[in-house]
Structure 1
């Protein structure tokens, strides 16, 4: 029997707990939608991007998110959001479209199975491929600096962590260590021989949501009561916070100096009806109607939790130690070296100023002395996984080998998705402790 023709259009959706990145594989960039249903003070309900287009007052917003602790648990809400994204905003016809879906690496199998059922039985997509977003990151080779050079015939000069190639042609590596520090958690996912190595997946239960809530509590205790202002505090976090590369010194400086003399202190003008919130220069003339939020050690204390979770009582290792714990699960020492040489960071939480320098320094101190350490930081870590899905969508033969068609699903049921997308039943457990 001749194979069914591949749909001409491919729709890629990276389903993050905070934001959905969606669009046709032929698009240059995805549209980004809040993965939430919100209710404003006037009791109007806003689905996905209506939060930006129709909601005028972002104060006191109440959120309902489909994800709980990184797992897709509320399909009633998610379907309402997907309906808007797929039908109203994208305008595609599912029965004529191939669908590529990215989900969190540590997603519960039952949540993934529910997703498979919704995709085929509610939307009726022609073909479907579900994958961890980390695999889509691995697929994205648009930035050659993120990948290892081809070994054959290359002359490589290594100075510290920098690599210079002479007369070499870069190729996409089949081994990648993906660190995704996103809304719900930070997940480390090793990909070996173009396949996810599931025993190596490690999760640090700290992400953008926890950092925002921690900042919200800190501000409410020290300054204004902002416990109901999730949207505003998230804006403050993104505009004001940074990762300190000399934490003890910065903390000591904040203790010694008053806010007026502290060079690390920053003034944030809280939003009001006539103006958006923004960072204010100290030389800027103040408006008597402005409410000023002055932040000093809060700016670096909040992101510090990524590196030292015990500061707030979370009994887990920091992000650098979790990365090394993930590597320890890989049996082959040489493969561990390849993973260190091709490590990619994505997710909104890596956008803090100072993050790259801090994590590079810590990993250098934890890695073996002879290890070649290359860390990749995409220009746009939010959409990088979607870009990988879009590239996969343009490789028709490869996508055909990975996907499940609607006809196959109707004939074999959910088992066909389990066989193609599910985790392997047997995994290696032997670990070489020398690395």
Structure 2
């Protein structure tokens, strides 16, 4: 049987709910593009990267995202964003689908109908030469994760913790395959943390309920994970702001004669600008990320992330495999970037692990693009990719069912 002709290039598209990480498999780093449509005060609709490169005023921006609760549900919006990413030379890609293979990600527990829609869009709308649909965790597993633990290569058994925009998902990979009965989802992600901070600031300081982007910037620049929540909370109660080391002043963005000035943490070594509007943050800085460890604080009836990790591991029946998983824990996603997250996670998870089990946590240098990096490695291994992908010819001959057979049917069950 003749081998189908391979595409000239492979494009890797890590299609996250908050950002798209896109790039050819041969480049060192991807482009990071907002996965959204944004409507500014000028009533213009910005698509994807246009929001960051062309929008002049980030206040009052209204967003429309293709993802809802972690599922890709709005293909009208996603298609508009993909058109700009894939076909517009301004973004850096001017893809010729006839000569290009596509590796694209989907959520771990994606609805079958949503997966089928993606298959149809890829082949019937764009006409890519070849196509491989998988989860971000599958691409994370393609990396040489052993380097995260001071070694080399990778294990075929890995526990991947992906703390993204919509939620935090814990995915055990056993013998290079997702063990779906043990997958766990914690309904705390970047979106919930941002919304909680937005409500807290609006109640205590200024009304910022319509300032989604600005509050997200405040979260990313100001928040941290505390090593001792009760102690730091008491410090904020006991000490006046002038003596409290946890207090931080954030300069809100504003329009100036020279243009729009971005928000930033105020440098205490410099005299304050009388025209600046200052937002003073205290326990908000660590109370927001604390929800990852104690979601019950706001009424979410789920265990914290360390406990959820142990629940996922405990759902694997073989005790030897459980030990391997705990020895190869890889944490990715934007919410793992908080200062102090690594130390807190290591401390709390170690306290839950049996004494005879070695716990190893791997934190990639860039947890946001680590999945894309694995996809880039896979994209350069033509022989491995060939056995997984679907060609356009196969799709036209067999229809959508070929994707179901080739990519596997996921087990969608209740996830604790």
For residue 99 of structure 2, what is the aligned residue in structure 1? 96
1:364-406 C-alpha deviation (Å, 9 max, x unpaired):
0111111111100001001000000000000000000000111
Q: Residue 273 in 1 paired to residue 255 in 2?
A: yes
Q: Paired residue for 1:340, among 322, 326, 329? A: 326
Asked if residue 218 in structure 1 is aligned to residue 221 in structure 2, the reply is: no
Change beyond 3 A, Cα 1:326–1:267: same
- C-alpha distance after superposition, 1:178-228 (max 9, x if no partner): 000010000001111111111111100110000000000000000000000
Gaps of 5+ in 1: 150-169, 428-435
- Pairwise CA distance, 1:331: 1.2
Say yes or no: does 1:420 pair with 2:406: yes
Aligned length: 406
Displacement of 1:18 in angstroms is: 0.3
Q: What's the CA shift string for 1:224-249, capped at 9, x where partnerless?
A: 00000000000000000000001110
Q: 1:403 aligns with which of 378, 382, 389?
A: 389
CA deviation digits over 1:391-435, x for unaligned, max 9?
0000000000000111111111111111111336799xxxxxxxx
Q: Is contact 1:98–1:126 with CA below 8 Å preserved after alignment?
A: yes
Confirm or deny: 8 A CA contact 1:189 1:202 kept in the other structure: yes
For residues 129 and 147 of structure 1, do their structure 2 counterparts lie closer, same or farther at Cα, with a shift above 3 Å needed?
A: farther
Q: Which residue is equivalent to 1:232?
A: 214
Question: Matched residues in 2 for 1:113 and 1:148: separation?
Answer: 40
Once residues 411 and 146 of structure 2 are traced to their aligned partners in structure 1, the CA distance between those partners, rounded to angstroms, is 34
Aligned to 1:359: 345
Tell whether the 8 Å contact from 1:139 to 1:392 is kept in structure 2 after alignment.
yes
CA displacement at 1:363 relative to structure 2: 0.8
CA distance in 2, matches of 1:415, 1:425: 17
- Do the aligned residues in 2 keep the contact of 1:12 with 1:99 (CA within 8 Å)? yes
Shift of 1:106: 2.2
Contact map agreement 1:148 1:342 (CA 8 A) in 2: no
**Structure 2 partner of 1:259:** 241
Query: Which of residues 148, 157, 177 is equivalent to 1:146?
Result: 148
Given that residues 292 and 304 in structure 2 are in contact (C-alpha distance below 8 angstroms), is that contact kept between their aligned partners in structure 1? yes
Shift of 1:281: 2.6
Of 116-125 and 11-20, deviating more is 116-125
TM-score, normalising length: structure 1:
0.91
Q: Establish whether residue 202 from structure 1 lines up as the match of residue 202 from structure 2.
A: no
Task: Quote the offset at 1:147 in angstroms.
Answer: 5.3
Assess, with a 3 A threshold, how the Cα gap between structure 1 residues 426 and 32 changes in structure 2: closer, same or farther.
closer
Q: Distance in 1 between matches of 2:15 and 2:204?
A: 36
Mapped to 2, the partners of 1:329 and 1:406 lie a distance apart of 39
Question: Which residue pairs with 2:289 in the alignment?
Answer: 303
Kindly report which structure 2 residues correspond to 1:6-21, keeping only aligned pairs within 5 A, or say none: 6-21=6-21
Alpha carbon RMSD of aligned pairs, Å?
1.4
The match for 1:286 is 272
Output the TM-score relative to the length of structure 2: 0.95
Distance 1:220 1:118 in 2: 41
Equivalent-residue separation in structure 1 for 2:404 and 2:98 (angstroms): 22
Which position in structure 1 is the counterpart of 2:123?
A: 120
Q: Please list the CA deviations of residues 22-60 of structure 1 after superposition, one character each: whole Å capped at 9, or x if unmatched.
A: 010001100010000000001011000000111000000
Q: Is residue 185 from structure 1 mapped to residue 167 from structure 2 by the alignment?
A: yes
C-alpha distance in 2, partners of 1:191/1:310? 28
- Map 1:157-172 to 2 at 5 A: 170-172=152-154
For structure 2, the residue ranges without an aligned partner over 5 or more in a row are: none
The CA distance in 1 between the partners of 2:61 and 2:408, in whole Å, is 37
Aligned residue for 1:109? 112
Residues 86-138 of structure 1 deviation map (CA, whole Å, 9 limit, x = unaligned): 00031011111111011221222221111111111111111100001001000
